[in-house]
Amino acid sequence: MMKITGLIFLIIDPENEVSYTMWKDIPVPFFMSVYFFNILNPTEFLAGERPMVEQRGPYVYRKRLQKQNITFHPNHTVSYLEYRSYFFEPSMSVGNESDVVTIPNMLVLGAAVMMDNMPHAVRLLLSATFKSFKEGPFLSKSVGELMWGYDSKLVDFLNKWFPGMLPSTGKFGLFSEFNNSNTGMFTVHTGKDDIRLIHKVNSWNGLTKLIYWKTPQCNMINGTAGQMWPPFMTKESTLPFYSPDACRSLELVYQREGIMKGIPLYRFVAPKTMLANGSDYAPNEGFCPCRQSGLLNVSSCRSNAPVFISQPHFYNADPVLLDYVQGLQPTEDEHGLFIDIHPETGVPLNVSIRLQLNLYMKEVSGITETGKISEVVMPMIWFEENGYMDGAIVKTFHTNLVLLPMVMVYMQYCFLVLGLATVLGAVLLHYSGKVRPLQASMVSAR
């Protein structure tokens, strides 16, 4: 009871000015660092040799998050749209957005795999279409174009004659659909009726379960929206959250204790089972068709494109993936994702989410653009979204959500002790008043 009273500041309520403002307009500086896998041997790769890549980056973007369309409901939930915008930070980057890198042409090599089971005539027609628009198997574009979109007559053609085939209607870029956009309508619990439910997702875009996957368990929307969690965590707790970008719920597990600016923390990391395939971890069978462990097939929510998500450099994935690509060196410190949480409040103080975008490609008969490419899950880009509390922000957190609740708890104990002392004093005075007349009467009797 005393803990819950002390954590009243966590409830999503406009009357709690400090915590509500921190929830609505997250004051923590967030950055997205992007790394490209520049192909060094495109000609040899197309001829069937193993691809050789070099990591180029980071190219760093400041990320701004802002919740809008906030609506509170009678059942102690609140709905909102969270918009995200990205701004390039040259001083934190290795180069400029004008730097040129070479990566696979997702439109060509991705479409080729998607058409693998179509009649041969259809594949020939697709190859002729690529040639007419001068689209080849690889792209050499600037970082800015690859991130936010580039002009393409093929893209214009597809958007005109096959609307909905591509994720965005404008220029085609790896992150074009994410900038100046929202992650969907979240409805979460405010914690006003039950602090243990705070931030847990009630629905997303009106859905209480997903439609992408094959089993009810895999379609569950679990945990929070990934920014805060319920309080009172233990080392046995997990960190479940729903990620619209990954199209599924994810869950982190406790790794170790830590401390930051005098604040105790628990570090949570991704277990190997999170992205394991159905053969290695049966509950993940619903996310299949799968390839090697460490890869998440997101084609079902990415226009059926053969796209896979993994941890960077295939960290914690099946080691065989490293045999197909030269230039990858996975390490936990550089490529493992983690969230550092203050366990009493469920508030993250240090976050580093690291994911990699991969394209499955192979030679497809009839589509000459695929050459003699060997079957491979090809890393294209990886990114790290990180943020941590610092300066005045961490002081405000420490004061309002750590020190103040502790003071309130201590004050309750003090009042309890004072109350007991008062009652005990009254009892003693009461009995003392009875003893004195009795002693006086005994003296008179003598």
Mean pLDDT taken over the chain: 88
CA atoms within 13 A on the CB side of 368: 9
Instruction: State pLDDT tens for residues 287-341.
Output: 998 999 999 999 988 888 999 999 999 999 999 999 999 999 999 999 999 999 9
Residue 172 scores a pLDDT above 90 = no
Least confident span in 5-19, 66-80, 126-140, 219-233: 5-19
Instruction: State pLDDT tens for residues 48-104.
Output: 999 999 999 999 999 999 999 999 999 999 999 999 999 999 999 999 999 999 999
Tokens 């960077």 sit on residue: 312
Q: How confident is the model at residue 415 (pLDDT cuts 50, 70, 90)?
A: very low
d(CA 191, CA 199): 7
Determine the pLDDT at residue 171.
82
Instruction: State pLDDT tens for residues 244-263.
Output: 999 999 999 999 999 988 88
Determine the pLDDT at residue 423.
54
Q: How confident is the model at residue 22 (pLDDT cuts 50, 70, 90)?
A: confident
* DSSP-assigned beta bridge partners for residue 95: none
Can you give the pTM of this predicted structure? 0.87
Could you tell me if 34 and 57 are in contact, meaning their C-beta atoms sit under 8 angstroms apart?
yes
* DSSP-assigned beta bridge partners for residue 34: 59, 383
Q: What is the mean pLDDT of residues 393-421?
A: 54
Determine the pLDDT at residue 2.
39
Could you tell me if 307 and 167 are in contact, meaning their C-beta atoms sit under 8 angstroms apart?
no
Q: At what angle do helices 153-161 and 120-132 cross, to 10 degrees?
A: 130
Would you list the DSSP string of 129-144?
HHHHTT--SEEEEEHH
